[in-house]
């Protein structure tokens, strides 16, 4: 019995050492959380402003860029702003027409073609047109080349709209009908070669190249 008690006494210091080590480890791990103070939050903390990216056509894939420019050109022409042919190419007339629209609509005037400009033209109310606003409304002068094409299409029986030099749906559809009837590539675009070709036609020849 005495031997057993001696063994128990000898083992006691090891147990005490383990308990002491566990206590030290617990204290070391818990210490950082004790008395931890978070930095004060300002009463009027600034709210991050969301970054809004204008969808400029220059950052779009080629096919989307061309389609967006075509839609902008067509919409500008319909509203009386002279953007020229609906060809999907960003030229000086298209840029100038965008500036005119932006000026009329009270937008920042930069002449940049973007999805934002297109959406504004299609959905803004009240609608903004070339005649909107000022005491001396802008009279759309029209494009001389487009006017000559309209005149020739009218002579050949493909067009029955106004000879105003404004490229709109009626003019485009008349060109497309002519091109289709004469086995041409159907683009609906105005151009000098088209005008020369139309001038060489007579009303009697208009049906000579019809598709079968």
Where on the phi/psi map is residue 4: left (φ > 0), alpha (ψ -120 to 50), or beta?
Answer: alpha
Give the burial class of 198: count Cβ atoms within 10 A of its Cβ; 0-12 exposed, 13-18 middle, 19 or more buried. buried
> Could you tell me which residues are beta bridge partners of residue 26?
none
Residue-wise pLDDT tens for the chain (212 aa)? 454 454 454 556 666 666 766 766 665 565 544 454 555 555 554 544 433 345 688 888 989 999 999 999 999 999 899 888 889 999 889 999 999 999 888 888 899 999 899 999 988 888 888 887 643 344 456 789 999 999 999 999 999 888 889 988 899 999 999 999 999 899 999 999 999 999 998 876 655 444 44
CA-to-CA distance for 160 and 173, rounded, in angstroms? 11
CA-to-CA distance for 68 and 64, rounded, in angstroms? 6
The pTM score is: 0.41
């Amino acid at each position: 019995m005495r031997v057993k008690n001696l063994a128990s006494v000898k083992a006691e210091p090891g147990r005490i050492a383990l308990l002491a080590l566990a206590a030290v480890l617990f204290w070391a791990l818990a210490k950082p959380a004790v008395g931890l103070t978070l930095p004060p939050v300002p009463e009027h903390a600034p709210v991050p402003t969301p970054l809004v990216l204008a969808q400029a056509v220059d950052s779009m894939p080629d096919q989307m860029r061309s389609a967006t420019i075509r839609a902008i050109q067509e919409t500008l022409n319909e509203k009386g702003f002279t953007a020229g042919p609906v060809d999907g190419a960003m030229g000086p007339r298209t840029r100038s027409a965008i500036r005119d629209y932006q000026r009329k609509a009270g937008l920042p005037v930069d002449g940049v073609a973007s999805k934002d400009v297109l959406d504004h033209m299609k959905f803004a109310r009240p609608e903004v047109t070339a005649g909107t606003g000022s005491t001396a409304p802008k009279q759309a002068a029209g494009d001389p080349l487009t006017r000559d094409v309209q005149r020739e299409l009218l002579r050949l029986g493909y067009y029955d709209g106004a000879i105003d030099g404004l490229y709109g749906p009626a003019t485009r559809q008349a060109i497309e009908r002519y091109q289709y009837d004469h086995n041409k590539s159907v683009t609906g675009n105005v151009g000098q070669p088209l005008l020369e070709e139309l001038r060489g036609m007579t009303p009697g020849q208009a049906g000579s190249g019809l598709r079968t």
